């Protein structure tokens, strides 16, 4: 498996640096994670009794997927989405820090860190506050994702 950031760097390198290309690269690089979550959830739900009952009644495969499997796979996908947004923020900031993301003068946390790096001894606040903003947002999204997981996981509700 190709690491997510390496895949994003390759995509941005091929497409060029712009906001749209950055979003495409980060989105495509996160697809394998979502595919694994959806597949694992679907395989777990597929063996449940209600799916077997729907087959016994004669429901079509499409109907079983839409009415039985997909609704029961949504909780892990929602939780993964909140955690994925945090990962996307970190990836976008990393790519912009490396000069592969949004280009100055557009304000972006990664490019703020990169441009403030040369003034680190004279004005450390130039890198401190963008780094703090990234950390707070990512931490908040991770806490939100953990809370969603705790509330949506039927095993933890008992």
Contact 109, 134 (CB under 8 A): yes
The pLDDT tens digits for 20-31 are 999 999 999 999
CA distances from 96 to 9, 23, 48, 139 (A): 10, 12, 45, 20
The pLDDT tens digits for 48-99 are 888 889 889 988 889 988 888 888 888 888 888 988 999 999 999 999 999 8
CA distance 98 to 22: 12
Rg (CA), the chain: 21
CA distance 63 to 69: 9
pLDDT confidence of residue 149: 82
The pLDDT tens digits for 2-16 are 888 999 999 999 998
């Amino acid at each position: 498996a190709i690491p997510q950031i390496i895949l994003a760097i390759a995509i941005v390198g091929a497409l060029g640096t712009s906001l749209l290309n950055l979003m495409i690269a980060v989105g495509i690089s996160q697809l394998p994670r979502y595919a694994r979550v959806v597949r694992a959830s679907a395989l777990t739900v597929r063996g449940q009794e209600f799916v077997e009952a729907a087959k016994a009644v004669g429901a079509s495969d499409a109907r079983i997927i839409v009415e039985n499997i997909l609704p029961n796979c949504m909780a892990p996908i929602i939780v993964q989405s909140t955690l994925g947004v945090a990962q996307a923020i970190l990836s976008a900031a990393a790519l912009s820090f490396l000069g592969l993301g949004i280009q100055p003068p557009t304000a972006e946390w990664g490019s703020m860190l990169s441009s403030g790096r040369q003034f680190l001894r004279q004005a450390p606040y130039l890198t401190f506050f963008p780094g703090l903003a990234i950390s707070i947002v990512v931490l908040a999204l991770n806490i939100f994702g953990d809370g969603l997981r705790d509330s949506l996981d039927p095993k933890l509700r008992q």
